[in-house]
Structure formats: C-alpha cells, structure tokens
Structure 1
Amino acid sequence: MTDLTALFTDLVRLETRLYNVLDARLKAEHALPLGQFEFLRFIAAHGTTRVYDLAREMAITVGATSKAVDRLEAAGRVRRTANPSDRRSSLVELTPAGADILAAATPTVEAELHTWVGSVLPATALDQLATSLSTLRQRAELDPRTDRSETRT
C-alpha cells in the first residue's frame, strides 16, 4: 500500500525544488521570474484572457493575480484593455515584447525540465506520470475548496 503522506511530501518537495531551479535560471538568463513566465504562457495560449481566468488557472487570488498583471504591464510584456462584454473586468493580452521574452525563455524552461524530469524517467513512466498528474489536477480543480480565485480583493 502506498504511503500517501510520503507521496504528498515527495510531490511538494519536488515541486519546490524544480520551481526554485527554473525560477533562478529564468531570472539569471532572461530577467523573468517563473511566475511571470507561467502567466505569459497562459496568455499566449488563450490570445486574450481575463484576470479572473488567470487567477483560476494559477490557483491564486484575483488580487494577487491583478498585482502580477500590473508588474507584467509595467514591464511592457502585457496590455490590458476594457472588456466590451463586462465593464467590471479587463482583458489581458501579450505585447510583442511579451511574446519575444516568452519565445526566448521557453527553450530554457524546456532544457531544465528535460534535465530534471525528462532525462530521469523512461518515456513510458513519463507518459504515465503526466496522465496521473493531469487526472489528479482535474479532480482538484472540480473541488470548490481548491479554488482560491473566489477570494476577491
């Protein structure tokens, strides 16, 4: 029987260490924190998004997300525009500078992930891990107790 508490500990410690390694390398090579990279990646995948949608994806509060978007906007990496469908929200999209930094940083992230994950596990184990984590994430996202975006500031 798998010790779920030990599994949880391993998962959290691995995530923390990977996050720290990726964050340090992105800052050193691109002056881009990993959190901002994740935001840019989500925005690029969706074209345009609301702050609320970013908050739900990142599992953080709308207030924290808004402040992060403020920093990206100040750096010239995203632009906010009025949401024609809802005056209470704005839409966020990448600027050319945001697209450029994302394109430059993506190979750096992929290289680190290959070093720490892709080169360690055989392809079948990696596929199984990806499927399992996706299943667990989907389950967590269905549970309202895990939705921090509802905490409005």
Structure 2
Amino acid sequence: MYETHGTVVGTVITTPVTRSGSTGEEFLAFRMASTVRRRDYTTGEWRDGSTLYLTVTCRRRLMSGVVHSLAKGDPVIVTGELRTNEYTTRDGVARTDLELSAIAVGPDLARCTVVLNREPRTVAPVEATETSSTESVSTDSISTEQAAAETLVA
C-alpha cells in the first residue's frame, strides 16, 4: 500500500509507556501535541492556533532509546508513517485516532539542549601479525604524506 510519511514537531504530553500489541509484540507509545503558532502582525504578538494531537508508537531499537531519553513535557521531532485508527471506547463511542509509527525520534534542539550518551562500539580483536604490518604501512604512508607536504611548502 501507499504509506503517508510525515514529520511532526511538538511536545510529549504523556509519559511513554510500553505496551503489547494483539500479536504479542511490545511497542512504546506516547501522545504528543503540535500547536500552530502564527504572528499577529497588527499587534506583533504570537498567537496559538489549532493543536494536532497524535499517538506515537516506537518499536525495536527505537523503543529502547526513547524509553530512556524522553519524558512528558519534552520538545520532540518525530518522523514516520501516519495512519488513522478507528476504535470504540468502553462507553460504545466510535472514535478515530491519528497514529505516527515512528522511524526516528529526537529532541527539538531549537527548544532544548542535549548531552549525548553514546554507547561504546565493540571492535573485533585484530591478530598481532596483522596489527604490526598495518602499523608499519600506516606509519610509512603518514611519513610519505608529511614529506610531500613539506616539499610543497618549502
């Protein structure tokens, strides 16, 4: 099918919660709001317009990053696939909800600052014979490049 992709800038308005779907797969869900702001040129003030409310769902690795990074009230930028969900409440009222199945979620750096916590990368150990030959090659190539640069400068 044709998916509708979109990016929404807004604010997290509920605490992210881990849930299970009908297939048993876990996902993370939170609600966000995005309010249009327009400048009133007669008064020079900013005025809030209508607000878009939607549910954001995150799966797999994204779920882990979001659950440890975001909280209610945080400014976010979310991109993913937009779709509507139709459901009936416990009271029997038919409702429609807009859902954004997230591909990427990040803080809105126009409205906050962030300190990144990078996970260390794991590197496979290299055998001793390969290391020594690689070191000599890279040292030779560096000294050759330095000599060439010194020649050009002189």
Bucket of the pairwise TM-score, normalised by the shorter protein: under 0.3
Greater fraction strand? 2
Structure with bigger gyration radius: 2
* TM-score calculated relative to the size of structure 1: 0.24
Q: Using CA pairs below 8 Å that are at least 6 residues apart, which structure has the higher relative contact order? A: 1
Greater fraction helix? 1
